[in-house]
Amino acid sequence: MRNEYFSYDCRLGIYLPLQLKEWPMYSSEEQEMILLEWERIRGRIPDRIGELDVKIEGLQEELAQEDDFDRSCMINHEISERASEINDLWLWYRTNPEITERE
């Protein structure tokens, strides 16, 4: 089911929903299956953020000891990349679709 409705995002390290069609166009059953899987994935996002926080802390320690300017710039770039990933993960974490009510 994950491959049909979700795709692995290497940058963020999680599966993200594929929007193959507009949300209301999915049947109620499909929406329910997608939401159930999304909640499983979403529940792991804080752990992924924690992993990235640890990486940032390590990079900050490395930066504090670095005397080479070019290397410092590279470390700063890595820190900003990890921070961007954390920001994107929080955005996905706040994404909370609901089952479309049918008339």
Task: Give pLDDT tens digits for 4-43.
Answer: 899 999 999 999 999 889 999 999 999 999 999 999 999 9
Domain count, the chain: 1
Q: What angle do CA 28, 32, 35 make, to 5 degrees?
A: 135
Q: Give the residue from 33, 82, 77, 87 showing the smallest Cα distance to 57.
A: 82
Looking at every residue in the chain, the average pLDDT score rounds to 94
Beta strands (DSSP E) in the chain are 6-9, 14-17
Residue range of the domain that includes 82: 2-94
Q: Could you read off the pLDDT of 80-89 as tens digits, one per residue? A: 999 999 999 9
Whether 44 maps to a domain, the answer reads yes
pLDDT at 15: 96
Give the predicted TM-score (pTM) of the model: 0.87
